[in-house]
């Protein structure tokens, strides 16, 4: 078993997210456990160099965590051929230029979101990275939260039946800084510094929706600045001109409607700082960062609207918590097999798995199309009446008309008439803001 070194240039790790999530809890934790074991038995050990503008701060950080290499010269770090990967968690305004320099230097790149605050720059960077032949990725960490992994397991098991809607609530009260210090830095509330909850949080909700419930086809978002003045870290009052709340509605592929409220001006009366409720024909689930609770249709109470009488039903009693016995290490990987355990090649002529729409996990023929006769049951998920006549698979991410060939996502996009697109799907500022290349590959692998 050989040990392989991976040189990492880490920029922006003096900030809250760069320091806690990426440096301490990720790279240093991997280093301290001896690296990552690869498929061939070798161990990949990260060797970071931390880079920043504040010499004293970077030096103290390196000494505290026993990091041998640190620098204030980013150009020199990028010129070192022994470091293969560049990571950035600095400010949004600097990111595009830094990523471009790293790509020019031949480095693989991985960064915090968003790639840029405008669409044209983000798309240009994605094309540049692809043309350079490097590996490139943007943070999509929320997909790996235990609560969302449980939601994915429920979806893949067919628990929901046909998914109808998704409702998300995110946020908490961030103190204004006058009589209690704020929990977030003041730049979060200034437009000129790249602040605003839309730019900060809605990119997370976009990839969560895309990967778990269906690709976003249209979005409508109202941003608001509820608290116009705040007090900064030095006790100075400043104008908070960035949006501190956002109320967004998403139309997803397959007819699913999602609505997510995001606010730094809300007091919490829910299970977690973020919760997602998914409602389907067969069951519902509510997930936070770690826990997930379900209610099947057989356990659903039958309330009657009567505002003249006190409510007699405790609506929390009929929910059950999902246990932690799910395959967390494999649930998000494309295994090449259907979730029922059959190979996609079970039936001759099955679609190549690379052409299967992304929401489906390499489904076998039985799960995609059921029996050959129109109107028959899908062998795995059952069927229900189709709006177009006949029957369709009941599984929300399958939705294949029984007896027909599975649709191919790219062909469906090509054939979609522009006149039938929702008015909000193109051209709006919110759409442009949310269209950065969030589908880049995940964390760089050795």
List pLDDT tens digits, range 214-235.
999 999 999 999 999 999 999 9
Q: Is the pLDDT of residue 307 over 70?
A: yes
pTM value is 0.72
Give the integer Cα–Cα distance in Å for 271 and 292.
10
> What pLDDT sits at residue 326?
61
> What pLDDT sits at residue 358?
35
pLDDT digits (tens, 9 = 90+) for 246-259: 999 999 999 999 99
Q: Is the pLDDT of residue 238 over 60?
A: yes
Beta carbons of 42 and 82 less than 8 angstroms apart: no
Q: Is the pLDDT of residue 369 over 80?
A: no
Q: Is residue 79 classed as helix, strand or coil in its secondary structure?
A: helix
> What pLDDT sits at residue 360?
38
Lowest average pLDDT, out of 95-99, 306-310, 362-366, goes to 362-366
Residues near 126 by beta carbon (within 8 Å), at least 6 away in sequence? 115, 136, 437, 440
Average pLDDT over residues 262-271: 97
> What pLDDT sits at residue 376?
41
| 112 secondary structure, DSSP code | P
Residue 58 phi, psi dihedral angles, 5° rounding: -65, -40
> What pLDDT sits at residue 327?
55
Give the integer Cα–Cα distance in Å for 384 and 399.
10
CATH class of residue range 143-321: alpha beta
Give the integer Cα–Cα distance in Å for 311 and 42.
61
| Domain covering 3-139 assigned CATH 2.115.10.20 in the classification | no
Tokens describing residue 428: 């709006």
Average pLDDT over residues 304-319: 93
Q: Is residue 29 classed as helix, strand or coil in its secondary structure?
A: helix
> What pLDDT sits at residue 339?
41
Alpha-carbon torsion (78, 114, 362, 352), positive or negative: negative
DSSP string, 398-437: T-PBTTSPPP-HHHHHHHS-GGGS-GGGSS-HHHHHT-S-
> What pLDDT sits at residue 140?
93
In terms of Cβ atoms closer than 10 Å to its own Cβ (0-12, 13-18, 19+), residue 219 is buried
DSSP string, 161-228: SSEEEEEEEEE-BPP-SSSS--SS-GGGG-GGGT--HHHHHHHHHHHHHHHHT--EEEEEEEEE-S--
What is the average pLDDT value for the chain, to the nearest integer? 80
H or E segment and range at residue 257? strand 257-263
Q: Which residue ranges make up each domain of the chain?
A: 3-139, 143-321, 334-407
pLDDT digits (tens, 9 = 90+) for 4-24: 999 999 999 998 889 999 999
> What pLDDT sits at residue 139?
92
> What pLDDT sits at residue 325?
81
Beta carbons of 397 and 214 less than 8 angstroms apart: yes
pLDDT digits (tens, 9 = 90+) for 53-104: 999 999 999 999 999 999 999 999 999 999 999 999 998 889 999 999 999 9
């Amino acid at each position: 078993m050989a040990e392989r070194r991976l040189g990492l240039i880490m920029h922006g790790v003096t900030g809250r997210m760069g320091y806690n999530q990426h440096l301490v809890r990720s790279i240093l934790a991997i280093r301290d456990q001896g690296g990552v074991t690869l498929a061939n038995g070798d161990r990949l050990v990260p060797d970071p160099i931390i880079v920043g503008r504040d010499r004293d701060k970077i030096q103290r950080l390196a000494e505290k965590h026993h990091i041998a290499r640190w620098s204030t010269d980013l150009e020199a770090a990028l010129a070192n051929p022994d470091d293969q990967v560049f990571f950035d968690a600095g400010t949004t305004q600097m990111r595009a230029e830094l990523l471009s320099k790293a790509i020019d230097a031949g480095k693989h790149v991985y960064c915090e979101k968003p790639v840029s605050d405008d669409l044209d720059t983000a798309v240009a960077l994605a094309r540049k990275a692809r043309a350079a032949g490097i590996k490139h990725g943007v943070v999509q960490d929320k997909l790996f939260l235990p609560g969302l992994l449980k939601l994915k397991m429920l979806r893949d098991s067919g628990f929901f039946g046909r998914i109808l809607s998704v409702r998300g609530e995110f946020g908490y009260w961030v103190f204004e800084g006058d009589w209690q210090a704020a929990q977030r830095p003041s730049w979060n509330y200034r437009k000129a510094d790249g602040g605003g909850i839309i730019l900060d949080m809605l990119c997370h909700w976009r990839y969560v929706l895309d990967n778990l419930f269906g690709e976003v086809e249209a979005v409508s978002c109202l941003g608001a600045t509820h608290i116009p003045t705040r007090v900064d870290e030095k006790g100075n009052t400043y104008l908070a001109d960035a949006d501190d709340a956002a109320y967004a509605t998403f139309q997803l592929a397959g007819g699913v409607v999602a609505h997510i409220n995001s606010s730094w001006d809300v007091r919490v009366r829910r299970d977690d700082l973020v919760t997602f409720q998914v409602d389907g024909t067969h069951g519902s689930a509510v997930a936070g960062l770690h826990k997930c609770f379900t209610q099947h249709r057989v356990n659903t109470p039958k309330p009657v609207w009567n505002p003249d009488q006190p409510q007699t039903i405790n609506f929390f009693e009929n929910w059950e918590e999902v246990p932690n016995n799910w395959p967390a290490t494999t649930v998000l990987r494309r295994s090449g097999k259907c979730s029922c355990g059959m190979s996609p090649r079970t039936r001759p002529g099955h679609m190549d798995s690379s052409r299967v729409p992304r929401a489906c996990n390499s489904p076998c023929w039985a799960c995609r199309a059921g029996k050959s006769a129109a109107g028959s049951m899908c062998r795995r998920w059952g069927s229900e009446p189709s709006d177009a006549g006949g029957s369709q698979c009941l599984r929300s991410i399958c939705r294949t008309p029984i007896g027909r060939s599975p649709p191919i996502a790219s062909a469906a996009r090509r054939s979609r008439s522009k006149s039938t697109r929702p008015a909000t799907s193109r051209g709006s500022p919110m759409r442009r803001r949310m269209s950065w290349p969030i589908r880049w590959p995940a964390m760089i692998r050795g």
